Amino acid sequence: MGVLRLVLRIMGRISTFRSYQFVLLLAAALAVVAFYYFGSERQNFSSTTKRIKQSQASHNTNRNDADLTVDTRLSHTGGSEEQGDAGGESEDFRSKTGPSEAADQRYHALMMFTKVDKSRSLQDKFRVAMLSMVEHGDFLEGEVLVLHFVSDQASKDLGERMLQEFLLDATFKYEVLFHDVVALTQKLFPIVEAMQKHFSAGSGAYYSDAIFFLSVAMHHIMPDSQTRIVQLDLDLKYRTNIRDLFQEFDRFPPGAVIGITREMQPVYRHTFWQYRKENPQTRVGEPPPEGLPGFNSGVMLLDLGAMRASALYNQLLKPSNVAKLADQYRFRGHLGDQDFFTMIGMEHPELFYSLTCGWNRQLCTWWRDHGYGDVFQMYYRCEGPVYIYHGNCNSPIPDD
């Protein structure tokens, strides 16, 4: 009513002014009405949005979606967000825990996220992975999924924007951490330099290749307080709750440090050809269930505590032992950490817990058409439920 009286008072004075003054006063009156009316509507809309977000377990009324460089914590109850101090520390994997969330149980998952800004294909794969993870993700109260991304600056900027959309419907608490790929490479290089000549595709560009061995030395990079992490490729599609994957850690037998699925193509039948020729009775490179087909690193469970405690595993990281095994098996690969794990797994299978093929259902069929069609199906076959599809070598992923 106060607004209406103000308008009438202004209109009452219109007759005393010339026509252009009439126009100016009319515009002023309309501006007053618009300010009060639409300003009120905007406030009501904002309040409604706030109530909707409070009703969603995954969202927070004070969420700052534009800043994912450090922890972004969302609460089931819609309580206030606690944002970590940026401090330039994100690259060293130190999770910043607010006092009210100190007791939360965290599930850590890491993905390589480099050069994504330059690849529409990687962006599409990331979309499929994150949306399917969110669709099926379900964590208990007091549990947090911590998503780590190893990234260059341009990809990080893009990733922050993409995650605003992809995580919008998450029904669980999560945190997001981006880590600088250059800083991690600097830490990794002295540890993995010796093995790169055996398992890298590049010729001389070993420094840049070091990041592809992150999983091999993760237990040296992460703080001692962090004991478990899952490393995941971007080209995955989740068909079940990712929380169930973490439960596989509890199935590790004594001595196992890494959970991983077998390779589902005759990759290592080919790579170990010379060793197989010299040892015709070997199981190396043979298909399952009796053979040793090697591993695929698309989905890996890294028990960091066990990796630190294993004298055997850490001995195998020494340059002299890497060279000894590579020579023994006549091995020269190009797939980074996957090759290293495959090679030491031939000699020490007790270090590995075999995930069922359904946790990393690889879809690539490249080797079927490149000389191994007669034996391909023995490697490719996967019985039982599929929990995660892996669209390796750009294979299409089923819509189901």
Q: What is the pLDDT of residue 208?
A: 65
Both tokens of residue 69?
């460089």
Q: How confident is the model at residue 334 (pLDDT cuts 50, 70, 90)?
A: confident
DSSP label of 370? T
pTM of the model: 0.77
Q: What is the pLDDT of residue 194?
A: 84
Helices of type H across the chain: 2-12, 19-55, 120-136, 153-166, 181-199, 206-209, 218-221, 242-246, 267-271, 273-278, 304-309, 311-316, 319-328, 337-347, 376-380
Where do the domains of the chain lie? 2-55, 90-394
Average pLDDT value for residue range 333-338: 91
Q: Classify residue 334 as exposed, middle or buried by CB count within 10 Å of its CB (0-12, 13-18, 19+).
A: middle
More confident residue, 21 or 378: 378
Sign of the CA dihedral running 343, 346, 351, 353: positive
Average pLDDT for the chain: 81
Q: How confident is the model at residue 202 (pLDDT cuts 50, 70, 90)?
A: low
Tell me how far apart the 2 most distant CA atoms of the chain are, in Å. Answer: 109
Q: What would the pLDDT profile of 163-194 be if each residue is shown by its tens digit?
A: 999 999 999 999 999 999 999 999 999 999 88
DSSP label of 79? -
Assign 3-state DSSP to the chain and report helix, strand, coil percentages, each to 5: 50, 15, 35
Q: What would the pLDDT profile of 204-225 be if each residue is shown by its tens digit?
A: 445 568 999 999 999 999 999 9
Q: How many angstroms separate the CA atoms of 312 and 310, rounded? A: 5
Q: How many angstroms separate the CA atoms of 376 and 233, rounded? A: 23
Residue 10 CA: distances (Å) to CA of 5, 43, 137, 159, 386: 9, 27, 59, 53, 72
Q: What is the pLDDT of residue 9?
A: 53
Task: Look at 87-101, 138-152, 171-185, 302-316 and tell me which has the smallest mean pLDDT.
Answer: 87-101
Both tokens of residue 285?
């490179």
Residue pointed to by tokens 């390796």: 392
Helix (H) or strand (E) run with residue 261 in it: strand 258-262
Both tokens of residue 360?
């990393």
- The terminus-to-terminus CA distance of the chain in angstroms comes to 58
pLDDT greater than 60 at residue 230? yes
Sequential DSSP letters for 7-18: HHHHHHTGGGS-
Q: How many angstroms separate the CA atoms of 152 and 113, rounded? A: 8
Q: What interhelical angle do 181-199 and 337-347 show, nearest 10?
A: 50
SS3 295: strand
Residue pointed to by tokens 């009405």: 33
Q: What would the pLDDT profile of 340-399 be if each residue is shown by its tens digit?
A: 999 999 999 999 999 999 999 999 999 999 999 999 999 999 999 999 999 999 999 999
- The percentage of residues in the chain with a pLDDT greater than 90, rounded to a whole number, is 68
| Residue 371 zone, left/alpha/beta (φ > 0; ψ -120 to 50; rest) | left
Peptide bond into 190 cis (omega under 30): no
Helices of type H across 201-329: 206-209, 218-221, 242-246, 267-271, 273-278, 304-309, 311-316, 319-328
Q: What is the pLDDT of residue 197?
A: 83
- The percentage of residues in the chain with a pLDDT greater than 70, rounded to a whole number, is 72
pLDDT greater than 80 at residue 301? yes
Query: Would you say domain 90-394 falls under CATH 3.90.550.10?
Result: yes
Q: What is the pLDDT of residue 400?
A: 78
SS3 361: strand
Q: What interhelical angle do 153-166 and 120-136 show, nearest 10?
A: 40
Q: How confident is the model at residue 195 (pLDDT cuts 50, 70, 90)?
A: confident
Q: What is the pLDDT of residue 292?
A: 98
- Least Cα distance to 75 among 2, 125, 139, 123 occurs for 139
Length, in residues, of the chain: 400
Average pLDDT value for residue range 253-260: 98
More confident residue, 320 or 76: 320
Q: What would the pLDDT profile of 98-108 be if each residue is shown by its tens digit?
A: 434 556 899 99
Q: What would the pLDDT profile of 78-125 be if each residue is shown by its tens digit?
A: 233 333 333 334 444 433 344 345 568 999 999 999 999 999 999 999
Check: CB of residue 290 under 8 Å from CB of residue 346. no
SS3 388: strand
Q: What is the pLDDT of residue 8?
A: 45
